[in-house]
Homo-oligomer: A and B are copies of this chain.
Amino acid sequence: MSAYLELESRFRRMALIGDAGSMLGWDRAAMMPEGGNGARSEVVATLRVLRHEMLTDTEVGDLMDEVGGDNRLDDWQRANLAEMRRWRLHATAVPADLVAAISRATSESEMVWRKARPASDLAMLMPHLKKVLELTREKARIKAAALGIPAYEALMDEYEPSGRTERIDAIFDDYAAFLPDFLERVLTRQASRPPPIRPPGPFPIDRQKALGEHLMKVIGFDFAHGRLDVSAHPFCGGVPDDVRITTRYSTDDFTQSLMGVLHETGHAMYERQLPERWRWQPVGEARGMSVHESQSLLIEMQVCRGPEFMAFAAPLMREAFGGSGPAWETDNLRRIYAQVGRSFIRVEADEVTYPAHVILRYRLEKRLIAGDLRLEEVPGAWSEELKRLLGIVPPDDRRGCLQDIHWPEGIFGYFPTYSLGAMTAAQLFDAAKRADASILPAIATGEFAPLMGWLKAHVHGQGSKLSTDELLTRATGRSLDPAVFKAHLTARYLS
């Protein structure tokens, strides 16, 4: 046991260093004055290097060998050891000079992207993106050999361990086949009614914040263990015992920021309810990106845009802003949150069309990594896919392949987790409602304890003990099944 316990002690230290970095990352986005950036980069890089050195230390490898398949380990410890090994494998697989080259190339390419996107200038970005892709393919080849899985899956493994393209292909193809006709029917039905009325602003930021905080508390967010602040790009950061979520406000429209807050609260509740016994151990961390996204989308899409929560929240919105009249009626507010439309921009898409944006990127990046698609061919392929999926063609690259930061940052294999998360959310919420009939009526009265109790037992409290597929199967009785998501959409938009 002593080798295993020594590993726990070392990974605990790495996790605590990671927590320092995580908190400084939040500070950088939410608090830091711009002049602090240079010094902060040095601090964060130092912490990252330290952690990397500890993880790749040969003694860690020796300890892992020594533990072997120690039979005295219980389920959690075994899962912990497996996560430790996965972490180490990712850290040691890629030679240091390739890691450094990728780091340089992606930070340059990201910098150029920040200028190329507003200018819609793909040519400006192209040489940098090519370098990033080339290095990423090299990394993918090396990791694929180390992990014994295909190159694209080896990249995905960092975000979505054990994600398999065969399964994702099937799920996404199914949705791609379902979408065109479904979307047409949704839009026809939507067009048959007058559009919802936008509540007139301005909406003072302090009242938006107070309303957001109130609804966060309703969901179960404990402000003794977290904060709500402002940043340019909303996110959920911090650490499980001190979760920091952010949003941004517009005084013209409160609806988007508010829903963003509820989305991040979903992420936050996952972090908060991770197993305390396994704090600072790999197995105590969230399972992966699709499960994490499922938790934010379960709260945002499944719960908060649903009729029960809207019936509860609409009076609070009226009260917060002193609103009255048709724009503030519950049904109108609910319809604002259920508008569907064809759009070019992923992050502005509704839950019906969002998967189209993801499927497109997934298909393209898989081909890019495989070498079946050249970067020069991306704009054409983009238009073709979007035309097929949504029936529209982006007028320029700014609204096409230049819109996302992922590829310039060297992030390939992440996109599918958004839509896997959306589908997982539907399946989990469906199972939760079946398991506990009190969940939905409770939400209608602003009572989230039944839902959060179920999520803690079946998702949050499991940490990384189970694979994503095992987690979902135990919680819902089956592997990811897109039928549940489609049924949810049909019920919400066509019934």
Interface residues of A in 1-41 (CB under 8 A from B): 13, 16-17, 19-21, 23-24, 27, 31-36, 38-40
A242/B16 contact (C-beta < 8 A), A27-B23, A33-B225, A34-B224 known: no
A241 vs B224: C-alpha distance when bound (angstroms): 30
A47: chain B residues at CB < 8 Å are 17, 20
A19 to B44, CA, bound (A): 10
- Which bracket fits the contact residues of A? 35 or more
A250 interfacial contact with B, CB 8 Å:
no
Minimum C-beta distance from A19 to chain B (A):
5
What's the Cα separation between A240 and B31 when bound, in Å?
Answer: 16
B226→A33 contact, CB < 8 A: yes
A13 contact set on B, CB distance < 8 A: 46, 50
Q: Does A227 contact B (CB under 8 A)?
A: yes
- Closest B residue to A17 by CB, please name it: B46
Chain B residues with Cβ below 8 Å from A43 are 16, 19-20, 23, 239
Interface residues of A, dominant DSSP: helix
Which residues of A in the span 193-229 have a Cβ within 8 Å of any Cβ on B? 222-227
Report the Cα distance A33→B223, complex, angstroms.
7
A280 within 8 A of partner (CB): yes
| Closest-CB distance, A152 to chain B (whole angstroms) | 36
Report chain B residues within 8 Å CB of A16: 42-43, 46
CA distance A240 to B33 in the complex (A): 12
Closest to A47 in B: B20
CB closest residue in chain B, given A223: B33
Q: Would A33 and B224 count as touching, CB distance under 8 A?
A: yes
User: Which of B23, B35, B241 has a CB less than 8 Å from the CB of A35?
Assistant: B241
If A36-B242, A39-B242, A227-B31 touch, does A20 touch B20 (CB 8 Å cutoff)? Answer: yes
Contacts of A35 in B (CB 8 A): 222, 224-226, 241-242
Query: Contact at B27–A39, with CB atoms within 8 Å?
Result: no
A376 to B23, CA, bound (A): 45
Q: Are A242 and B19 in contact (CB under 8 A)?
A: no
Given known contacts A38-B241, A40-B242, A242-B36, A20 and B24 CB-to-CB distance under 8 angstroms: yes
Q: What separation, in Å, do the CA atoms of A32 and B225 have in the docked complex?
A: 8
Contact with B along A219-259 (1 / 0, CB 8 A): 00011111100000000001111100000000000000000
Please determine whether B39 and A19 come into contact, CB atoms closer than 8 angstroms: yes
User: Measured between alpha carbons, how far is A223 from B33 in the docked complex, in Å?
Assistant: 7
Minimum distance in angstroms from A360 CB to a CB of chain B: 40
Nearest B residue to A14, CB-CB: B46
Residues on B with C-beta less than 8 A from A20 are 20-21, 24, 43, 46-47
Give the CA-CA distance A309 to B224 in the complex, in Å.
42
Distance from A125 Cβ to chain B, minimum over Cβ atoms (Å): 29
Q: Could you tell me which residues of chain A, from 262 to 308, have a CB within 8 Å of some CB in chain B?
A: 279-280
Residues on the B chain within 8 Å of A240, using CB? 39
The CA of A241 and the CA of B34, in the complex, are separated in Å by 10
C-alpha spacing A16/B21, complex, angstroms = 12
CA distance A227 to B227 in the complex (A): 19
Name the CB-closest residue of B to A44. Answer: B20
A19 to B39, CA, bound (A): 9
Give the CA-CA distance A397 to B241 in the complex, in Å. 38
Contact residues in B for A34 (Cβ distance below 8 Å): 224
Partner of A27, one of B21, B27, B38: B27
Question: Do B280 and A32 touch across chains, with their CB atoms under 8 A apart?
Answer: no
Also in contact, A31 and B31, with CB within 8 A (given A20-B24, A23-B24):
yes
Closest 4 CB pairs of A and B: A36-B242, A35-B224, A35-B225, A39-B241
7 other A-B residue contacts (CB within 8 Å) besides A20-B46, A39-B279: A13-B46, A16-B43, A19-B39, A31-B227, A33-B227, A36-B225, A36-B239
Pairs A–B under 8 Å by Cβ, sample size 11: A17-B46, A17-B47, A32-B242, A33-B223, A34-B224, A35-B222, A35-B226, A36-B226, A39-B242, A39-B279, A40-B242
